[in-house]
Chains A and B, each alone.
Chain A
Amino acid sequence: MSDLLIIGAGLSGLMAAYTAVKAGLRVNVVSKGLGSMHWSAGTVDLLGYSPAQPQTAVKRPLEQIPALIEANPHHPYALLSNEHLAQTLATFVALSKDLGVPYGGAANPGDNLLLPSPAGAARPTYLAPKGQLAGDLSRSEPMLIVGFTGMRDFYPELIAENLTKLGYPARAAFLPLKLITQRHDSNTVQLAQGLDNKEQRALLGAALRKLVRPGERIGLPAILGMDAHMTLLAELERETNSLVFEIPTLPPSVPGVRLFKSLRRYLQEQGVRLTAGIEVITANLTAPNGVPGAVQWVESATSARPLKLRADKYLLATGGILGGGFNSDMHGRVWETIFNLPLTMPQDRANWFEPGFLATQGHPVFNGGVTVNQHFQPVTENGQLLYGNLWAAGNLLAQSDAILERSTEGTAIATGVAAAQALSS
């Protein structure tokens, strides 16, 4: 029996677990599989674009958020004061140092970073792992983007050309993939693990030294080591006498995997139980007339009969459509898969999407989700509390389109931490 059962092992679930275990709760985390952090860039996007001005990257997100809330008083960020929001991010930065994957922000505190994307676009984000910071496009050093011949899904010429067009001087170069792996075929995680090897690291350093011109900084695909990442980064910078940065790749994204693995290890050391492969399928609920009900237990699928999972309190952090917290049918009905919580998105398919794929105002279906009260507890359309021992956090919350806003991780951290604080107090 645990005090708190968290359903979902994405960034919001794990940050909630961190907060709750620090508050002295016995915490159990279950997840259907491993997810969102493995396909994120590993950065913390707080607010990259404001729906009011979708064409212009936000420069100072914390200062922009009050205006965002004024325009949309039900935005998840409105559940926290600006100071509280900043505090949750500071908590994350401090934790990241303890995890051995330190995060930082722009040179000018409070600014968004502007980092090169794998397509060579400029991507606003608030915090990034140390290994990505030197890619900030507010820096002036020209860039050498290095790829590996035969490596899928990383195109240095495309990146360099697009960056140059945007006014950030960059050139491309290739090294043979054989330099860093003897394998015929590897994905990014395997390549990163290969670079944990000391001899392999030395070979890469020596080759880069020959390529780089004085004054350049070097951008590489985000495969610079898994466990030995920080060591390798320091070695390469020393060897080449240049700044070195990673550019995130297509999934699996190594910076996200590093954060996930270190966070999971840390939580396990704190006594949190984390189990993947557990899909919660239904809940047993009491809801006497007019009075908020309670979650008695939830049930997960097993190889035979469903397994009952019990706790005093439950936190739903299963994510939205991509995370698997919602499901839909061909007619356009969208539902929350465990508690069948009311969702705010249009329940017919014709109204899910705007006509344009890249519609600047976003698509209504992505803006919908679970409505919670100020204590992060799911409520009905009329604002009535549904279950006394159920909380919700992360990207399943309604009234924010994280794809449009570039606010995925900011929402996850802020609401994950704050929901766990609310339920612990």
Chain B
Amino acid sequence: MFTKSWHSVGPSLDECIKCNICTSYCPVSAVTDLFPGPKYVGPQAQRFRENGQPQTPDHSVDYCSGCRVCNEVCPTGVKIAELNARARAQIMAEEGIPLRNRLLGRNETLGKIGSIAPGLANFGLHNSFSRVMAEKVMGIAREAPLPHWSTEGTFGDWVKKTQAVRLKSAKKVVYYHGCATMYYEPFIGKAAVAVFEHNGYEVLVPPQNCCGLPLLSNGEFDAATDYHQNNVNKLLVYAQAGLDIVGTSTSCTLTLKEEAPELLDFDTEQAKAITMATWDIFEWLRERHDHGELKTDFREINMVLPYHAPCQYRAHRVGKPAMDILTLIPGIDLRESQARCCGIAGTYGYKKEKYQIAMDVGAELFNFVADQGEAVEMTACDSETCRWQLEHGTDLPSRHPIEILAAAYGLYDLDKRDLINS
């Protein structure tokens, strides 16, 4: 299994100098004994997992949330989080994948099914009886901040419905919406389209699949391989035409760029083309701004806004582009979170045995928000599950920075979460 790319991720373990910096900054091992820390389950245990070792030595690797703080602080470049993701997949391949993990990994399927009758689906999922049953039968924590299906149609419905009024332009961009925008938060996609069009770009929304990250982090690599191959097939023509593929979910864009190809051995020219064409939306907007191409006709927004760059964003290693752009908006008092992780880490905090760990990890962020004072009305964060966790942990609404930017252009209502002239 994974023979080829053990070669790329694997040898990085030889760079480990055992300095323990990763363990010192790991937000999970800071709050629980169940996870001994990145060094132990990563580069250390890796030596026992190589080449047909009969037993997988350490199941505690399943408590790695995949936040990648270890990679961020490692002074020598060990790919610790990737070693852990592979080790988890190896355990799952040998011992079987629990139904819960299979379910949580299939965001796209869940989105589609729920969207057939979203009102009913929301009621079905979000009543206390179902949540208790889901916890007892499947181990999905009853308090965990699961999303609500959009009751006003999917993002795809909106794109179809508004096709006639969408901007046509020589400048084109491909929008990768991801599952959350498609089924739960179409308003994020609307805000993104409004910002693209305001800057003169025609937005193409081609057919696309789930990026596969929920499957990767639940250890189901085979299914993730199919998803990534489908995305490569569907998006390649745009990448080859020189178009940028821009996404609003920072973990999706990270997966398209790097996580899927690296973890799944996609060592192909096609996958490389997708990597090089893919941008996170604020990374892309900052690039436009650096070239003097971003409109800055902003309205004043007077608010104190705590902003958390999610760990998945920091894993892009492009700095904090949302900070760079939101700072341009007059009146906005941005407060930069230094918290390591909100705790949820995709589907990690949904799991019964990990819910409290996720909340304890998130305390650092929740406390940061509380410290910003009474004037705070909302927070901002680039990742959907992190926003849901932030709302759960702070009782304040949380917005994607693209919603803030669209509002600053006068195109978007931050309270109603809708376009102003839609």
Binding site for B on A (CB under 8 A): 32-36, 38-39, 183-185, 187, 189-190, 193, 251-252, 257, 268, 275-279, 300-305, 307, 323-324
Q: Which residues does chain B contribute within 8 Å of A301, judged by CB atoms?
A: 317
Q: Which residues does chain A contribute within 8 Å of B71, judged by CB atoms?
A: 277
Given contacts A32-B77, A268-B338, A276-B72, are A303 and B24 in contact (CB under 8 A)? Answer: no
Contact across chains for A33 and B338 when beta carbons are under 8 A apart: no
Chain A residue with the shortest CB-CB distance to B309: A275
Instruction: Tell whether B319 is near chain A: CB-to-CB under 8 Å.
Output: yes
Q: Which residues does chain A contribute within 8 Å of B25, judged by CB atoms?
A: 34
Q: Which residues does chain B contribute within 8 Å of A189, judged by CB atoms?
A: 20, 23-24
Q: Which residues does chain B contribute within 8 Å of A190, judged by CB atoms?
A: 23-24, 29-30
Given contacts A189-B24, A324-B75, are A277 and B19 in contact (CB under 8 A)? Answer: no
Contact across chains for B20 and A303 when beta carbons are under 8 A apart: no
Given contacts A189-B24, A301-B317, are A33 and B72 in contact (CB under 8 A)? Answer: yes
Measured CA separation A276–B33 after assembly (Å)? 26
How many residues of chain B are within 8 Å of chain A by beta carbon? 34
Chain B residue with the shortest CB-CB distance to A193: B30
Contact of B77 among A33, A257, A276 (CB under 8 A): A33
Contact across chains for A187 and B317 when beta carbons are under 8 A apart: no
The number of inter-chain residue pairs (CB within 8 angstroms) is 90
Binding site for A on B (CB under 8 A): 18-21, 23-25, 29-30, 33, 36-37, 71-77, 254, 257-258, 275-276, 278-279, 314-320, 338
Contact of B75 among A33, A304, A305 (CB under 8 A): A33
Contact across chains for B77 and A302 when beta carbons are under 8 A apart: no
Contact across chains for B319 and A278 when beta carbons are under 8 A apart: yes
Contact across chains for B317 and A251 when beta carbons are under 8 A apart: no
- Min CB gap B334→A, angstroms: 13
Measured CA separation A278–B29 after assembly (Å)? 24
Contact of A38 among B24, B37, B77 (CB under 8 A): B24
> What are 18 A-B pairs at a CB distance below 8 A?
A34-B73, A35-B75, A39-B19, A184-B33, A187-B23, A189-B20, A189-B23, A189-B24, A252-B21, A257-B24, A277-B73, A300-B317, A302-B317, A303-B258, A303-B316, A304-B276, A307-B317, A307-B319
Contact across chains for A185 and B36 when beta carbons are under 8 A apart: yes
Contact of B33 among A38, A183, A268, A303 (CB under 8 A): A183
Contact across chains for A33 and B74 when beta carbons are under 8 A apart: yes
- Min CB gap B272→A, angstroms: 10
Measured CA separation A324–B320 after assembly (Å)? 24
- Min CB gap B337→A, angstroms: 12
Measured CA separation A257–B19 after assembly (Å)? 12
**Can you name 13 extra interface pairs (CB under 8 A) apart from A189-B23, A268-B338, A300-B317?**
A33-B73, A34-B21, A34-B25, A185-B36, A187-B37, A190-B23, A251-B19, A257-B24, A277-B71, A278-B319, A279-B317, A303-B254, A303-B257
